[in-house]
Structure 1
Amino acid sequence: MPLHGQFVVAVILGRSGSDTADVLAPYDVLASSPDFFVYTIAASAAPAVVDGGMWVVPTHTFGEVAAGAAPTPDLVVVPAVNSPSGPEEAAAREFIVNQYNAGARILGICAGSRLLAASGVLDGLRATSHWSRIAALRTSNPEVSWVTGQRYVQDGRVTTTGGVTSSIPGSLKVIADMAGDAEANRVGESVGYPGLKLDGPTAMPVKVFGFEDAAILMNTAFPWGRPRVAVELKDGVEEIDAAAIFEVYGYSQGATTSALSAKGFVTTKHGLVVKTSILDGATTTVVAGELGAPGSPQGFDAAFEQLSRSSSSSVVQSVSKMIEYPLDRVRQERAPLIAQARTSLLLVLGLLLAVGVGMLPTIILGFVRRRMRARA
């Protein structure tokens, strides 16, 4: 239970599946402050799936809050879920509306704004989302004033963030508003988000898909030959460290990841219970929170460094754009030639297939004409 004076935070876990970093990153940031009591919440007590082959065990259910059996949140964190408008998330939408109407603050993470928009709490407000989602949201939810080029947008009691890792400065802004600038700066220094200044500008370049993203498109369209990366989680792992490796590889589509642990579940630094597959002693793993040299930066820095060992630089740059994480201090390594060549080979294969599909009607028509002449 929360101590006297602590702010209560409920981090929603979607029934249709949630984005790993959207859940774990703000949980880590907010739970790093003793001014906040943070728990996860879902429609049921069953473990909730997040990307990367993990399940998070909810601390409480929506029903427990309604019945007074769980602390009423001062802040509700809303991650991206797979079916924001679907029936699977009806209970989550109702919970969001009820808590907002009761006076709670709302923190929407990345495409979690889709769930917020579907619940109606963004109507008449300014909000943002992942840059790849905003065009569609302007069409589906014109009653919201959608903003581009901002790490986060705050309108009244609602804060929404841009891309995946923008959840970190967005969460720190909420800490500053609720617990003061000094506490937000202290937590920000411990998290170590690159270039973060609490009083600095929130603007960032407006991003669009370009040719430089072709490598990820090819990885998605042609998954053949992807390496498998087994990620081992250990008790006490930082939540951001646990999320980063899955998020980076997930956006790259350059590898298939799996989450493993010795007992099939771990308890993170701030008390999250995460279920995984059981570690096979014969499986070679990378250990979340222990990537790179001892004492080197972990989290997204280490995850990008790990990605650079198995992917081309274009993939690394594109993933950085997708999750809006600066690479200024990331030490990139040179991947083996076969890994670098994979992207080029997939591009050539894609072009050949496109040409082949384009020529297919001509080939078929020519074949038919030859058969007709032969019968004449």
Structure 2
Amino acid sequence: MSRKPSLLKPAIRYENNPIVTSAQVNKIWAEPQLQTITVHNAGITEYGGEVLMLFRSHLRSGISVLGIARSKNGLDNWRIDLKPALVPCSRVDKFAQGAAVDELIENEQGGLEDGRITKIDDTYLITYSAYHASIAHRVRVSLISTKDFKTFLRHGPLLQTDMRNVVIFPEKIKGKYYGLFRPNDHTKQHVGGIFKQIQIGSIDNWERSVWEIRKEPVMLQSDGPGSFSDKIGPGAPPIKTKHGWINIFHGVRSTMDGNPYVLGVALHQLDDPAQVKVSNIPILFPSKSDCKVPDDAYVHVPNVVFCCGAIRRENGEIYIYYGGNDTVMNVAVSHEDILAELCEKYGQNPTTGLPLYKIL
């Protein structure tokens, strides 16, 4: 990639985007009931010497399933697994001891969405949104663990309340595991109110799935103008760097023509992730280049960039994997130094959203 990220262009789009599309998946999932219309919002990890992408696809029926693609370099030559990895569960699936099986089955019948992957020791934790099939907007973020991406163990909801966009830090911090949570609400607007906050929670043992959520949000937006003013939520699981934990999140500012999504960045203190610095300047805005599809192809939600996974390279580069228009998968390249500098120099108050720097 010839261009380098900077404070002016914090994330540089890969010139060969999109990297995975529904057209590619449909060549592999050839059966009519498995034909997809989107590939987006993918969790990312490294497994078996490759980059593994756990992508979400809308089937033509409207239900979302999760599939796997793999690449040697995380940029091109993606290989699609022969069938979806995760579909709404049934009694033939594997459940953790003590899991409420009937409740889990009921929770997932509306589909699985937006998997995020965190590796802890030799286990990969997948948080995902489980949608109810008959209760509108009823979503429970649930947990699946795996060691090989072949056998999956369902643990059930992290909380017995509606949540969205939950990410888990990849190691214990002062004896506890931490996660970032965005509450969900039964509203058609999907903006404002509790959608404008990110909460932090902790747990002694992730297998228990009983998280203690801190009462005060760790990030909050007020009602003033801003690129994240009407909704925020964690995106990729936090990445450990010399500067702190890098948290790539999404934000929305409602307009007269919809709710465009942008990507932002925050920096959490390594030994206390409740202490956070937030860049007031987004790192990526949606553009026409984020959804390159044929003229007769379906486009799901215009003006959206949405990230569920990112990886750090040895040279400090951050590969940011993001869905374009909730339709195709893309990647952009940034650097930990640039992302940290944005948070340090061009910050906002983490609990009001007000800028901490002078424009002039």
Normalising by structure 2, report the TM-score.
0.29
Between structures 1 and 2, the one with greater helix share = 1
Normalising by structure 1, report the TM-score.
0.29
Between structures 1 and 2, the one with greater strand share = 2
